[in-house]
Amino acid sequence: MRLRDMLDRPTLGLRLLAGDEHLDRPIRRVFTTDLLDPGRYLTGGELVLTGLMWRRTPADSERFVAALAAAEVSALGAGDAALGSVPADLIAACERHSLPLFEVPVEVSFRTITDEVGAERASGLATVLGRHRDLIAAMAGGDRLADLLPRVASELGMACWVLAATGRLVAGVDELAGDDRTLLARAFLTADRLPHHAALGRRRRFTVLSAGGRPEHRLAGWFLAVEETAGADPLPEAVEELVALAALERAQLDEARRVERRLAEHLLRSLSSTVDDAEVESRLVACGLEPDSPLRAIVATVSGPPELAVAVVEELARPPYSVAAVGRLGDEVAAVVPAAVAEDLADRVRVLEAGLGPRGRLAVGVSDPAVNAGALRGALDEARHAHGYAVAQPAPAVVVPSADLASHLLLLAGVPAAARRTFRDRLLGPLEEYDRTHGADLVHTLEEFLGCSGSWTRCAQGLHVHVNTLRYRIGRIEELTGRDLNSFADRVDFFLALRIVRGG
């Protein structure tokens, strides 16, 4: 019910005193109070009715109205019984805070106003329930969210979109720019609580709400973004229909994926075993993949429960209804996907980074394209090694394509983390300790020297030191480590140690 509609009812005799520019505000419920600060009992969108028993001095009006404005109520109705009329200080306070205020005559009870709003809401709820039944029947008959959402949003007079946590558009009234989708996804992932109000520039504002997903974690969830319009309620009750519609679609999708995971895990296990290529091909077909088309392998880990990792990789590996095989493989989640799916994977991972939290990690390794089923085993190994290198990086969210790794990095990624740490600490530990104790720069000197292929002149110039100073530093490095930088083998060891990230 809109405030304008209630004020237009002659049987109530309500007289507007302030806020005539906000008459299109909707009334979600009625709240009666005589508390000076009722803010903790308000949730927004209420029509507040008061008998003014809280007012002792004119200053009380400012405190009372400020509390209502902060709670984003729709309007204030003041009764005449206590003071005989609405005081001027209350009118002035409402004007300052842009809060509509109307006078309730003595002969009109607050119960009458409450009943009027309740009757209007009951009629609206009946309409909502009828439409909701029709929508459920349509989805049961095979209609999809992408078809139903534009129609329902048009009926409700709203512009809205359903998006995944990566910013991928699931359904909407029209297209939404990629940058806008990314900003909305980050707002959804980082909001302290939902619903959340998000601004895209100065002109566009959205209300963001959760719209389902299992497990119940924002990284794995969908959200509804409703564009707010001037003078309209940013969260009308009809939005609940859209949320329910998206949640129903997501529940159907989650159930389908649960079945598909079993087929995917059969495929992934076959790639780690000795079954022949014909068996691999048949399992690819069972997963809906074409054995002779270019495919990639993905291996990933995500902080949190195992089911979250699977859901996140499913979102990264494919949009809804496209084909991919995603399942658990030991402590990791693996996927086989059409080669093109991985092209914008890094962009989607960067969006999810906002929702990882202070200690969360998302590490992804991606193989080169495999031209046929027989090459998939090697692709899965590549993805595993790339994933191992991603895990060793300090950033919270990392995607490493195997094509970006030099051969020595792939070699290091295949070495257990404990062995890498021991190797690094044995070679570089004495130098790092010396640098800390003496304020020296031996580790950087070593890296620069190797980068210059052992050229004393170029290295000294790069470090801005005399060649004799450089010779002294290299001598100290050799003395502390027991290695000889004239030895090719020792240079290789130092080179590899410098490529191992501390703690990896």
**Is the peptide bond prior to 294 cis by the omega test (within 30 degrees of 0)?**
no
With cut-offs at 50, 70 and 90, classify the pLDDT of residue 126. Answer: very low
SS3 string of 406-466? CHHHHHHHCCCHHHHHHHHHHHHHHHHHHHHHHCCCHHHHHHHHHHCCCCHHHHHHHHCCC
pLDDT, residue 423, reads: 80
Determine the Cα–Cα distance for residues 178 and 197; give it in Å rounded to an integer: 19
Domains of the chain: 3-116 (3.40.1390.20), 131-248 (3.30.450.30), 259-407 (3.30.70), 417-499 (1.10.10.2840)
Report the pLDDT averaged over residues 314-335. Answer: 84
Tell me how far the alpha carbon of residue 136 is from its chain's centroid: 28
pLDDT, residue 435, reads: 92
Structure tokens at 196: 């959340």
pTM for the complete prediction?
A: 0.60
| Helix boundaries (H) for 178-323 | 178-190, 239-271, 277-286, 306-317
Contact 279, 270 (CB under 8 A): yes
pLDDT, residue 37, reads: 92
pLDDT, residue 459, reads: 93
Structure tokens at 294: 């270019």
pLDDT, residue 81, reads: 67
Report the pLDDT averaged over residues 135-139. Answer: 58
pLDDT, residue 10, reads: 84
pLDDT, residue 138, reads: 57
Report the pLDDT averaged over residues 192-200. Answer: 88
For the chain, how many helices (H) and strands (E)?
Answer: 17, 15
Between 190-194, 243-247, 414-418, the lowest mean confidence (pLDDT) is in: 414-418
Predicted confidence (pLDDT) at residue 41 exceeds the cutoff of 50: yes
Report the pLDDT averaged over residues 327-349. Answer: 88
With cut-offs at 50, 70 and 90, classify the pLDDT of residue 125. Answer: very low
Helix (H) or strand (E) run with residue 71 in it: none
Q: Tell me which residue has tokens 């030895």.
A: 487
Phi-psi region of 27 (alpha: psi -120 to 50; beta: other; left: phi over 0): beta
Predicted confidence (pLDDT) at residue 352 exceeds the cutoff of 80: yes
Contact 109, 80 (CB under 8 A): no
359-372 pLDDT, tens digit per residue, is 899 999 999 898 88
Structure tokens at 126: 């009946």
Contact 452, 458 (CB under 8 A): yes
Report the pLDDT averaged over residues 264-284. Answer: 89
Predicted confidence (pLDDT) at residue 7 exceeds the cutoff of 80: yes
Structure tokens at 223: 């959200």
Report the pLDDT averaged over residues 3-28. Answer: 86
Q: Could you give the count of Cα atoms lying within 13 Å of 321 in the half-sphere of its Cβ?
A: 6
Contact 100, 76 (CB under 8 A): yes
419-451 pLDDT, tens digit per residue, is 777 788 888 989 999 999 999 899 999 999 999
With cut-offs at 50, 70 and 90, classify the pLDDT of residue 127. Answer: very low
Question: Strands of 15-18's sheet, edge to edge?
Answer: 15-18, 101-104, 75-79, 46-50, 29-32
202-222 pLDDT, tens digit per residue, is 778 898 999 877 777 899 999
Report the pLDDT averaged over residues 164-183. Answer: 90
Report the pLDDT averaged over residues 241-267. Answer: 85
Contact 393, 504 (CB under 8 A): yes
With cut-offs at 50, 70 and 90, classify the pLDDT of residue 493. Answer: confident
pLDDT, residue 415, reads: 63
Determine the Cα–Cα distance for residues 35 and 42; give it in Å rounded to an integer: 12
How many CB atoms neighbour CB 196 within 10 A?
A: 18
Question: Strands of 397-401's sheet, edge to edge?
Answer: 325-329, 332-338, 295-302, 362-366, 397-401
Q: How many residues does the structure list for the chain?
A: 504
CA nearest to 306, candidates 328, 279, 324, 282: 328
pLDDT, residue 122, reads: 47
Q: What is the mean pLDDT of the chain?
A: 85
Predicted confidence (pLDDT) at residue 66 exceeds the cutoff of 90: yes
Predicted confidence (pLDDT) at residue 292 exceeds the cutoff of 90: no
